[in-house]
């Protein structure tokens, strides 16, 4: 019996005790929810952010209140020259990483970038979402693969459900291209890193984060109408799916893009 299988069988289905997780973009929203969900399952969590350091430090405190270890690492993922140091810092913290979640994404819909041009927004999304996910996944994945550790190793990326069929408008065009790239990359990386490292991608639908909270009535109605469950998704919905996919319960799942959208209502 392999060491990884022995460990898997010694854990309860979604127990992450003894695991070390990195969650990028975890100062708020979906990332914060994932960090706290993994900590509640027993993982120590490295919290990452760039523009929201105070919020990130608050997430660190919440993880620690759950009885888990946590630190905050600041890094601008738009700068490719920070990737090596960020990954090195993550590995040095607890002498290894079992779970790497690439959640960080540029906010171009609210805040100071909301008034940028289409090209400026697209460039920022490409730098943070695509280059960040690819660069960090490749570096972390190589370390995980080379370690051949007894502990299971998992990379989880974040896509978008409507990248599969498209959505009209500037935002739809941008996010379909950006998140579609991440989803395609995730499938290929799973093949590159198998069998030592599992790689999957979540594709959230209408999730009520900062933009959803201030969205117009028409968008509010659309989000509810397009879900078979007739409601917005929450960051906790995505976090619950993330916890499952990085856990021993998902030990035979890799190379998949899994929607978290309440069941998209086709044709409406």
pLDDT at 251 over 90: yes
Angle at the Cα of 50 (from 44 to 51), degrees rounded to 5?
125
Residue 132: HSE in the Cβ half-sphere, 13 Å Cα cutoff = 30
Compute the distance between CA of residue 132 and CA of residue 86 in angstroms, rounded to an integer: 11
pTM: 0.91
Model confidence over 51-63: pLDDT tens digits?
888 999 999 999 9
- Give the residue carrying structure tokens 């927004």: 121
Contacts of 131 (CB under 8 A, 6+ apart): 77, 78, 80
Compute the distance between CA of residue 212 and CA of residue 199 in angstroms, rounded to an integer: 28
Question: Could you tell me the two tokens for 134?
Answer: 């690819």
Residues of the chain with pLDDT > 70: what percent? 92
pLDDT at 10 over 50: no
Compute the distance between CA of residue 168 and CA of residue 170 in angstroms, rounded to an integer: 7
Tell me how far the alpha carbon of residue 128 is from its chain's centroid: 13
Instruction: Evaluate whether 90 touches 101 at the Cβ level (below 8 Å).
Output: no
Model confidence over 125-160: pLDDT tens digits?
999 999 999 999 999 999 999 986 556 799 999 999
Helices (H) and strands (E) in the chain, counts: 10, 7
Question: Could you tell me the two tokens for 262?
Answer: 């309440």
Model confidence over 189-228: pLDDT tens digits?
999 999 999 999 999 999 988 777 878 888 889 889 989 9
Q: Is 234 left (phi over 0), alpha (psi -120 to 50) or beta?
A: beta
Instruction: Map out the domains of the chain with their CATH numbers.
Output: 16-260 (3.40.50.720)
Tell me how far the alpha carbon of residue 181 is from its chain's centroid: 15
Instruction: Evaluate whether 257 touches 165 at the Cβ level (below 8 Å).
Output: no
The strand ranges marked E within 129-252 are 153-158, 197-204
């Amino acid at each position: 019996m392999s060491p990884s299988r022995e460990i898997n069988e010694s854990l309860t289905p979604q127990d992450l005790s003894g695991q070390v997780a990195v969650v990028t973009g975890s100062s708020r929203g979906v990332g914060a929810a994932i960090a706290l969900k993994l900590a509640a399952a027993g993982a120590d969590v490295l919290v990452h952010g760039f523009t929201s350091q105070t919020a990130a430090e608050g997430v660190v405190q919440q993880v620690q209140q759950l009885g888990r270890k946590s630190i905050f690492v600041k890094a601008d993922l738009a700068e490719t020259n920070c990737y090596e140091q960020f990954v090195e810092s993550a590995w040095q913290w607890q002498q290894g990483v079992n779970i790497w979640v690439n959640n960080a994404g540029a906010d171009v819909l609210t805040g100071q970038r909301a008034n940028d041009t289409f090209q400026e927004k697209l460039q920022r999304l490409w730098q943070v979402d695509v280059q960040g996910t690819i660069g960090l996944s490749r570096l972390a994945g190589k370390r995980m693969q080379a370690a051949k550790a007894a502990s299971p190793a998992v990379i989880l990326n974040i896509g978008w459900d409507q990248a599969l069929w498209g959505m009209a408008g500037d935002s739809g065009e941008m996010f379909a291209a950006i998140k579609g790239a991440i989803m395609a990359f995730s499938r290929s990386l799973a093949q590159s890193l198998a069998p030592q490292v599992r790689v999957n991608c979540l594709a959230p639908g209408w999730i009520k984060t900062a933009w959803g909270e201030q969205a117009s009535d028409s968008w509010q109605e659309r989000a509810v109408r397009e879900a078979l469950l007739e409601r917005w998704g929450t960051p906790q919905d995505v976090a619950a799916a993330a916890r499952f996919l990085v856990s021993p319960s998902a030990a035979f799942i890799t190379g998949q893009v899994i929607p978290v959208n309440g069941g998209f209502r086709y044709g409406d």
